[in-house]
Amino acid sequence: MAHCNSDCWLCDLPVGTDPYKGCSHGCTYCFARRFSGQIGEEPENGDSPSSLKAFIEGKRDDTTSFVDWNIPIRIGSLTDPFQPIERKKRRTYEMLKILVDTKYPCVICTKGEVVGDDDYISLLGECNVLMQFTMACSSYDKLEPNAPPFERRLEIMKKVSPHTKRTIVRIQPYLHQHFQEIFDNLKRFKEAGAYGVIVEGMKWGDKRKGLVKVAGDYTYPLSVITKDFLALREEAHKVGLKIYAGENRIRSLGDAISCCGNDGLEGFVPLTYNINHMIFDKKGMVCTDAMLQPNTARAIAGRFDNNNISKLSFKEAMDRYYKQHTKSVRETFGLQ
């Protein structure tokens, strides 16, 4: 079943489903590797084409009980839906057929080559899809040993982009040492059909020289990521791209508070009752009827030590988290 994770406290599109468990790209920086099993396994949480259809038809689990609108769903949140195993098992293909039939809004992120196959492009052209391609520059190729190289991904994006509602480039993670190469690629992204780019600084789990600790991770000092982002923003606007800050501390510097590139896209209505909007866009917050019902807080309950939190309404739990974790919240959003 499609699920919502505890990142809903700061993520506007936190509902997703995975066609596979495990990923073959072998990216050295990937946080999801610790969740991976044998490549091509079915997810243990029951994610499948049939469970995607059930969610679209209105069925909810305990993590999505607060969702009473057609929130865009992510296809592939812990794995790449277009990794090579897809050509054999075609679980993503089956999901796409459902999305064609229902026209349900979806966000699909990939660095895989299969998405460029003609039969997949044909389906994508009939989907209500916001397509995201993860790429930055050729210097990343050594960090992504089993994924298509940067230049190949750029070719694939150019081929796929005309068949999507919108195409976004995810520069995630952003590595400061490759600033100039990424800067120079912005024009190429635009020429290949991108609407905008997302930038999020790399996070490490261990202490390293020149980094600062932010909410349990080590990352670039705020001054460094801000300077780089502003320079990238100026160039992005110059070449006709939107730019979004996946980096929480500089979220407000992007062209929209929702960082996935769904702003202004008809039917792509995000979650706005979260701390991201409490801080940066209070007037834009919407609390739906389902969010007021008891026992709808399971998604965010994992952020608390108290197991009884899930019995609250989604709204109550979100409000309580903001009040009880003010220091860490402010640190996460660069307000200290």
In the chain the beta strands, taken as DSSP E runs, fall at: 3-4, 15-17, 73-75, 106-110, 129-134, 166-174, 196-201, 212-214, 217-219, 242-245
Question: In terms of residue numbers, what domain contains 30?
Answer: 3-271
In a domain? residue 36: yes
Tens digits of residue pLDDT in 102-114: 999 999 999 999 9
CATH number assigned to the domain comprising residue 248: 3.80.30.30
Q: How many domains does the chain have?
A: 1
- pLDDT (mean) for 320-334: 91
- pLDDT (mean) for 255-265: 96
In a domain? residue 13: yes
Cα–Cα distances (Å) from 204 to 55, 145, 173, 217, 219, in that order, read: 34, 19, 10, 6, 6
Per-residue pLDDT, 312: 97
In a domain? residue 28: yes
Tens digits of residue pLDDT in 156-174: 999 999 999 999 999 999 9
Q: What is the b/e burial string over 81-120, where b = at least 16 CB atoms within 10 angstroms of the residue's CB?
A: bbbbbbeeebbbbebbbbbbebebbbbbbbbbbbbbbeeb
In a domain? residue 300: no
In a domain? residue 47: yes
In a domain? residue 331: no
Tens digits of residue pLDDT in 64-100: 999 999 999 999 988 999 999 999 999 999 999 999 9
In a domain? residue 285: no
